[in-house]
Structure 1
Amino acid sequence: MESRGGPAPRRKLLMGEIVDQAMRLFAERGYDGTTLQDVADAVGLSRPNLYNYVKSKEELLVAMVEATARDAANSLREVRRRTDLDPADKLRLLVRALVLRRAEQPAQFRTLDRSEQSLPPEIAKKHLRGRRAVLKEITGVIEEGVTAGHFRPVDARVSALSIIGMCNWVAWWFHPSEDHPAEPVADQIAENAVAMVARAAGHTPDTPTPLGAVALLQQDLDYLTRLLSEPGGPAKLPPGNG
């Protein structure tokens, strides 16, 4: 077994296996209920050899949290910044990406979800930043859709949290197989998400009518009234994360 200075390709493969096994064990037993010896046994290494790759459970958790936060936020940000898509198409792509991520890496998500309260402080901060980054991207697309008139004047943050919850739950109930692939499930949930915020048919910006314009204006006024009547106004919406 090579040490930290060993051949890079083999080391990368084995490190990936170590992280995968750790995620599986964390999901099954919880972070506190898993030891490095458990991880070593799952990979087929002695504990001294495992120390050539990781020195603590925290290292494994940091790698998992950083990869999860970075990959999710970056991919969603790229979609939100696209200028060739309208807000509904952006929301579909964002939700589809989140659902596929949960469906394809359920152990990783369940591990972080179950272990959230026991995460070391620095890791918990990274995890929270990642969740907030996801919330920011989805909230931003919904706000864009409301401003453009594609979406109803909903509370963007509450809607985003609802959509994220719908995506996250996939990690617990969905079990992909040849006869039950993840893609159709992701497509359906994406359509459900758009339906949650979309304007009613016949009241889109492309097909205005006098009565429709009055109805949309009334919705906007009702929404503005609700925001202004909240204690502290719209700027005082409570902070949160995805």
Structure 2
Amino acid sequence: MPVAERKTAVAIREEAARLFFERGFNATSLRDVAAAVGLKVGSLYNHIESKEDLLLQIMGGIIDDLLEHARQALAEATGDAVDRLQAVLAAHLRFHAERAQTVFIGNTELRSLSPDAHQKIVDKRQEYETFLRGLVEDAGRAGLADLIDTRIHVYSFVAQATHIASWYQPGRRKSLDEIVRDYTKLALRELGVSDADARVDRQHAGAHGAAV
């Protein structure tokens, strides 16, 4: 796809996501999206099949991006199974805070999809949850975490990140770094990691030291 077409496709998704967040999917027309991008409605169909396809692109894309960020964090992580899990959880939390609008759409507009499209998003979510569950299980097998139910632990981590996305705004009392640090401590404490706070503080200090 030529660069200009890629830029247009990205602009369409970005403006659609903004409108879906502000007005809701059902209250936003393709004419609204086209006007926001500066296109005629007919030109949208060079990039999408329908309004539902546009929503599916947005919702599927956010999960793809999240999984990519998490895998990148894992690839860059060092240390034992808990250190690797902690690095992924930090990326998971930060991503949700920084991409709050599209996260919100993903959580509220699933009901707007047809059964086939709905299943596509469910499958992508399950892929991500399976990825997280594998890391939790690794920590348990290494004897570094006291697991209750890996699936429930993962649901808890997803809920924590969704919670951050619902209220986080830059410039508040705590920085995003501090919020990620605190929520990561909560996650590792939940897993029964004996030195949870020390691990998180050490990684937090190391990350800031590397950035200096």
TM-score for the superposition, normalised by structure 2: 0.80
Contact kept, 8 Å, 2:147 with 2:192, in 1: the verdict is: no
Aligned match of 1:159 in 137, 141, 153?
Answer: 153
> Match of 2:109, SS?
helix
Structure 1 residue 79, shift from structure 2 partner = 5.2
Structure 1 residue 180, shift from structure 2 partner = 5.8
Q: Which residue of the partner structure matches residue 192 of structure 1?
A: 186
CA distance in 2, matches of 1:179, 1:165: 22
* Greater share of helix: 2
Letter in 2 for 1:37: R
Q: Which residue of the partner structure matches residue 119 of structure 1?
A: 113
Q: Percent identical across equivalent pairs? A: 25
Q: Which residue of the partner structure matches residue 53 of structure 2?
A: 59
Q: Which residue of the partner structure matches residue 35 of structure 2?
A: 41
Number of residues of Structure 1 aligned to a counterpart in Structure 2: 195
TM-score for the superposition, normalised by structure 1: 0.71
Aligned match of 1:23 in 17, 29, 34?
Answer: 17
Letter in 1 for 2:70: L
CA distance in 2, matches of 1:83, 1:42: 41
Structure 1 residue 115, shift from structure 2 partner = 0.8
Contact kept, 8 Å, 1:91 with 1:141, in 2: the verdict is: yes
Q: Which residue of the partner structure matches residue 133 of structure 2?
A: 139
Change in 2 beyond 3 A, CA 1:199/1:46: closer
Greater CA radius of gyration, 1 or 2?
A: 1
> Match of 2:145, SS?
coil
Letter in 2 for 1:68: I
* Structure 2 gap ranges (5+): 196-212
Q: Which residue of the partner structure matches residue 109 of structure 1?
A: 103
Contact kept, 8 Å, 1:69 with 1:130, in 2: the verdict is: yes
* Structure 1 gap ranges (5+): 202-242
Change in 2 beyond 3 A, CA 1:36/1:160: same
